[in-house]
A and B are shown apart, each in its own frame.
Chain A
Amino acid sequence: MMTYFPEEVVEHIFGFLTAHCDRNAASLVCRAWYHVERMSRRRVFVGNCYAVRPERVAARFPAVRGSPTSPISTSSPPTGRPRRALDRGLRLLPAAAAAGGRGGRAGGGCGGGAPLEELRMKRMVVSDECLETLARSFPNFRALVLISCEGFSTHGLAAVATHCRHLREIDLQENEIEDRGPQWLSCFPESCTSLVSLNFACLKGEINVAALERLVSRCPNLRSLRLNRAVSVEALSRILMKAPQLVDLGTGSFWVDHRSEAFHRLISAIERCKSLRSLSGFWDASPLCLPAIYPICSNLTGLNLSYAPAIQGSDLIKLIRHCWKLQRLWVLDCIGDKGLAIVASTCKELQELRVFPSDIYGAGSATVTEEGLVAVSFGCPKLHSLLYFCHQMTNAALITVANNCPNFTRFRLCILEPKKPDPLTNQPLDEGFGAIVRSSKGLRRLSLSGLLTDQVFMYIGMYAKKLEMLSIAFAGDSDKGMLYVLNGCKNLRKLEIRDCPFGDGALLENVAKYETMRSLWMSSCDVTLGGCRALAAKMPMLNVEVINERDESEESEESPSDFHKVEKMYVYRTIAGPRDDAPDFVWIL
């Protein structure tokens, strides 16, 4: 039936398919659809940068303009994760430029160039040269989003600011950026007035505040601005006076003498920002400065106080009482169970809650337990996304939470002490997590902790049919645990396991499964080198990488035997073959 329609009509229909998975599905129907879809796709998502070569992407999708690229997801948080020595991003760009058909290069690609406009990268090594190439090659470049990347400096940012004259978005989230001076902000030309979003909160050094103020003044469309620690309260006040239209603000250093003029100016400036819906930053925030935001709290839908350890439970409580429209809240665990009870009674619209540990290094002081979570589950029925670091959890609490909140899409629970049982019953937490997966049928992401046996994996395999990502640590008793998951979770994409008694038996039982997944990570388990080799031999479409970061002096001269247990193993499907940028301690089998 569809063959009645000319290609333009089919292409028009595909234009309404925005989700990558939908477009992927459409391209599998028949050759005609494959052809139409690939010629009209504008944005490409590559979940694992090593799964496919950039040239191949460019060849298939010649019209690509925006390329959100997310690389390998490693287990969180492995220490000493393998460093991607080569700059994958750089390889993507020339290919995209070639396909863009500037002057009809690199044959095949359709004409009417499609220059790169958006780039989104996560956990990549990005160099200044890469950013400079990007900026010079694509003067129409609009949006740069870098998350957890490293390898570049403020010089790279300067290049982007200088050459990309229609820049709309620079979003730098949690990157390691080398500070080479504050000049980059001055590199935005006077003609740049198009900025909508600017986030440099992760920059460690000083910045040119005057240049920032001028930039903000001339960008009337600026909606989102996240400053770094170097920006003082005085500067923040001046900036807010120039940009009262902001919707999302990340403050700089949020400390000022609350008896001073500067504090009063801050209050006036914030009061004018009637459109503010989301606040973050609060670096070095003192509790006495918090009242400055009270005037706009009732408008807030998002609040991130997770970088303000000086704000204790009682101050948080005072603040939260004003924020009754909150949908997303990120806090430190010093909020305490009492504070969470206040969240429960105040924030009826809450959808996402993240409670981070405030004291990672020493013995804990005030923290949260299962009580806080239970309270929130009673008070906030719309809760669907949770990240919760706590000292303890009980089965009864988890069952209650499961009953109150059947809509979880993300449920990540981290009990700080590994293998901790239910303190009331001394039982494993199998039943509690079982209740969660049974009740939240739409669960896509799950992280487990506490004492767990194979039973919890049986529940997960049985009930978590929509599960896409699972993180396991210090859990299970035998290979059966891992197999329940591999055999049961039809939609599983990423599985990361550490310190579990899963061995070669589990690894090799259902090898076809790994081709349906993006990746499998296992560290400190019972998988041996022989097992990994067997997997690599059986499945040529998988890359099996073994990471062994031992000291050179510790290794014996001969290569380790097949019985040697591997430290870390990473398996992922790919059509690109083994990668060529692996550092020395990564063995590709």
Chain B
Amino acid sequence: MALTIVSQIFPREMIPAVLPLIEDKLQHSKEIIRRKAVLALYKFYLIAPNQVQHIHIKFRKALCDRDVGVMAASLHIYLKMIKENSSAYKDLTGSFVTILKQVVGGKLPVDFNYHSVPAPWLQIQLLRILGLLGKDDQRTSELMYDVLDESLRRAELNHNVTYAILFECVHTVYSIYPKSELLEKAAKCIGKFVLSPKINLKYLGLKALTYVIQQDPTLALQHQMTIIECLDHPDPIIKRETLELLYRITNAQNITVIVQKMLEYLHQSKEEYIIVNLVGKIAELAEKYAPDNAWFIQTMNAVFSVGGDVMHPDIPNNFLRLLAEGFDDETENQQLRLYAVQSYFTLLDVENVFYPQRFLQVMSWVLGEYSYLLGKETPEEVITKLYKLLTSDSISSETKAWIIAAVTKLTPQAHSSNIVERLIQEFTTSLDTCLRQHAFELKHLHENVKFMKGLLPVDKSCEDMVVDASLSFLDGFVAEELSQGAAPYKPHHQRQEEKLSQEKVLSFEPYGLSFSSSGFSGRQSPAGISLGSDISGNSTDTGLKETNSLKLEGIKKLWGKEGYLPKKESKTGDETEALPVPQENIIMENVDQIITKKDQSQVLTQSKQEKEKQLLASSLFVGLGSESTINLLGKADTLSHKFRRKSKVKETKSGQTTTAQNMTRSSFSSSSNVTYEEDYYLDNLQDRGDKEVKKFSLNSELLDSESLTELPLVEKISNCRLSTPSLFADNNMEVFHPPQSTAASLANEISLASSLLEETTEHMHSDLMEVCDNETISVSSYKIWKDECLLMVWSVFNKSASELKSANLEIAPAENFKITEQPGCCLPVIEAESTKNFQYSVQMEKPFTEGNLSGFINYQVMDTHSVQLEFSVNLSLLDFIRPLKISTEDFGKLWLSFANDVKQNVKMSESQAALPSTLKALQQELRLHVVDIIGNEGLLACQLLPSNPCLLHFRVHGDMLALWFRSSCSTLPDYLLYQCQKVMEGS
């Protein structure tokens, strides 16, 4: 009973309290209780996966339970876990296959039969797991071919359950690594489903088809008539599923018909969710495959008017961007824009029609930008129309702002300006501040027509932004100021850095003094002092140098690049852009039109319904039947590039163009808005600053590492002063020595001794570990646990007698890590029989137990082809844990400030009965800092890099150890608890 309640809705905070109880129940003698316990754990896994991670082994036990029910229950957990990370459970494929074999073979007790089908739920669960495991993995897939075949064969009774199994089978067959025989059988099954008179099966058949169609579009051809029938099915759900299917097979040839069908459905449906979904799909298709301009604009008009204000804001934005940026050639662009303007012009003519706000916004933007294409006389007319819109009540103030912006853009082109004046009069007294501001801006601009024309050039919605951004016209001013002795402008972060370096210089002096005057008589003190003063002196030097070089560079940059940049270049360049007529496109279009015309004429002549359907079918599957049998998507792409956004070409501009409509609005107000420009200026400089930073990062890196190595030393010494038997210093020395010797021995073997970084001697580091090698090179890696990050070093040793060229080491970005490349990651040459190091500093972004960092190295041997070698390294949470050195009082304060806590009782083994020894073990294994030991209680502290502190509280009573964790990070305690438990069990 209690277990049942536990697995209902259950608060996350209570899990640790009941978890041990449920774990006990896993060993209960009654099956039903074991089963319920497993399901309760499944529920826990869903709520908080990290809290149950230490009992994964018990799940395995449950999988092997002698009772089938318990085993079936554990499958739920596995399904969830495999969904998240299929590679970790590949080894279980064999057992899953055997289980399924037994089930299909009827080896289970009769109790589990359902309508004489053996354990259907179990089968479906297993099939799903297999599908996930076998995805894109030939080896694992091969294991399951037999059993899939078997289940396909067995499930041939005419009952819903068997259909369910069949459906799942088909799904699995198509998701694993393909095998032709199985695919054939699965295709047959789908056929059965689709043709079935039962409506539920038909639905499932369509669903399966939708899934399959991506891999094998020919299947759709076989069932085209059925699909057409389904399209006119009275049940909207079936219709919708069919549309979904069509959406998947859309290509450049059948787009018009499919979108027409979709729009029809769109007009009928009322539910908001469906509309949003469908509108998005239509817009996507239209953008991808549109056959011609007129059609594209019309479709988008339909989308806007139906989708209205519920649709995703990306759609109108994308549409506008497409219009503004254009495609590969100019004439096409002009045509498209012209058509858009014309259609909107006529749309606005229609009286008494209410369009959604979004649509009006789009219209006003387009008219404002491109109505010059209509000819000389029209700006007035357009303004009149827009004015009429403005005065109507049904429009929101946001839309009104859009419209005023459009009017502003049009005013310089218009000859007479009565309406504009009237508009200004009306809106300068408007209650809406935004509108009022726009009106005033318009007013002032209107007073100076010439200036206005220069400011709002025709058809410069994207281009003029580039000019603004570079701000080259300010250079002369800046240069003048500089020559008069003004300080060069430095970007924010540059200034900060300088400040920092100065601070460092200052702060080290007193430190050095303090410990020399304290008269500390430890064995390390002479070395410490000499080292400390050495470094501080050194850092002063470099710090000064750095600031000097910075200033110089800053000035040089200002003079150099921008001074030469001609202001007009970007403008003229765009206008003189060549306008070649792309013949291909036109031919394409013609073909399309011919096809559609043919279709239409045929439709007219043959009025019989059946024929019509067939025709529809032929037009729908046109792309599939003729040429493309295999790779539908790929082909479609090559055909229809023209309506794709030119994302690649304009990548550099995209940052500015995405905000195109905002910018056009603000660009005319920019003259009065000096601060705005200054922002730009700042950005611009910042970019350059970045480059500089890279340049002198070599210097600063040296400085950083040195100054940072000093910090711990200082800390260490102060630590020693506080508590004489400092455990930390001890520990540091202990762990520090052996690895170095082993590493050294290893290093001798592959002549790496010299290559170990200087830093290695300052910090703890792991053993050298070979990660990959071939006949020419061997790559080994080791971790350096620096105080502020984990430094991964990859040493590449060139074994061959010739030198290697353009060696390049790249690390794939990992989900949970922030990886920063240290300088020197791309080396032009690695000499023969020498070693080079690549360094990466790694930070953990969110806590977890273990992660994988993979990458590859590229190199060239003597001008031949380049070779690529892949490797991966495991990182664990422990690599990112550092001791947090705080006093007992600080511990108390911090303890109260943290919200997330986790408690757990752990049994202690006899060997670690005494608290100090336990703590020592933890300290060594996990790099925790022992703050204090008071009686039978111990306080420890650590932090997860970069700065997530975690406090631990230990209390011994009897042979139990009560662990209590508190942290500012919600998940960290769970992970640490897991690690602690591992350590305690291990020792």
Instruction: Decide whether A and B assemble into one complex.
Output: no
Residue numbers of B with Cβ under 8 A of A are: none
